[in-house]
Structure 1
């Protein structure tokens, strides 16, 4: 159960920050130094959560390899950050748009216009996750509930629904021992403490959330074969810029000349992974595609 509203004031994210008590009376440069000093603490706090983040990535990847998808759900800043991260996965990693989905309380209009009242309903959170098709037809999906306070009813309702459907349930919050953490199979809890502007969790808590989301989405894509080393080998060459990038990736991965890389890419139907396997393994396109299919698209497993 979530904490009652009267307990909101006890959350660390709602406490006054002693370093910024006189924020409005500071010279601008001093004010900015305080903000920057507080922001500088966030990366170290997130680093302390790496063991949990790693467990989450491995669990998400294992399920994704069996046909599962990833859903983020949140309200306010947390929801917006989830939608942002999900929306960046298709152009970055060339994955289907429904593979990583972001759901925000209040719907897409809440991305621009605040709809914070929507976060108070557990039933609405569960219903919107169901409407999105979570775990439909037995898919081994994963839900990440995001709430800086760790107590948002909308998020908790979605987490309860995900658990009832057999999903892997992750929780990301910035308050220790929160209801979101307790409802999760794996809890990621960077405790960022009092904000420079009291209660404004778009600041340090928001920064921590974005850093964790970067790690989660990037990590799971790496684990499921979307990169080779640090090369984006899933890139789709759909315009002149991306054709140039694809050719450079093929050349970097194989040591081929620009001309050889371009020729192999054309012979591979403009699919970067196929072109790399054709060059490295001296295979036909058909044999390269078969080798990649057998390795579930993980290029490193094909090349050894």
Structure 2
């Protein structure tokens, strides 16, 4: 009896030491990653672009010199004759085909673009994480039945991944109807299998770690092992993917709005809608399309640069 007690005490101590070392290692990993990112030009540029975009999205509508829907200069624009008003002191980006101030619409449209991108990413992240946790826990600690559940979930995920993301988003948006909420849901659903498979794979790797074996030996319940041990140590790649998915979400949301599946009110400024409206007048006034396109490209570039720098900082295989 004494021998069994001493053995249990040793295993319990081993579990505590393993958990403590993982916590310290995880904390050190993030500190080291942050240090590397601070010295990375790619990370600094990406963070600066994102900060500027978020600042414009938050305070832009308050700084807009004119109403984004006000057609104050419609008499000065004759799109049928190819006559547009370009950049001038009163209108920094010129006027669109209805005599509205392009700069004001660009500022207000940044908020709509950020809102759609963030909400879409959160939908994909939350639902995908739940699916990934269920599948990963079933595959790691669920036994024979769990592996069957994992197989069913992953095959369904593979079906979604086999479809082109934009085609899937367009199909979902077409079924749900034209609205800004539809765009968020459609883009978010496309992101779900990406997060699910990524988190599931990360949990499978962590499931074979020593600290999990120690927790099993001590007799900790499976649910607690998943939630307190495996899941927290599996989130690093998911966080990186969330940053990269923001860039994809912004581009795909703009594409859906460009195709006419976004906000049914064309007067509400959004960069994808502005691109769609500028298409008809591209030959006469290409800058109408250039401003929202540049905004989309630079914003997506910022999130991509930051996400890639985070991936390199956290991945030991890519460290110099």
Give the TM-score normalised by structure 1: 0.32
Structure with higher Rg: it is 2
More helix by share: 2
More strand by share: 1
Give the TM-score normalised by structure 2: 0.31
Of structures 1 and 2, the one scoring higher in RCO (CA 8 A, sep 6+) is 2
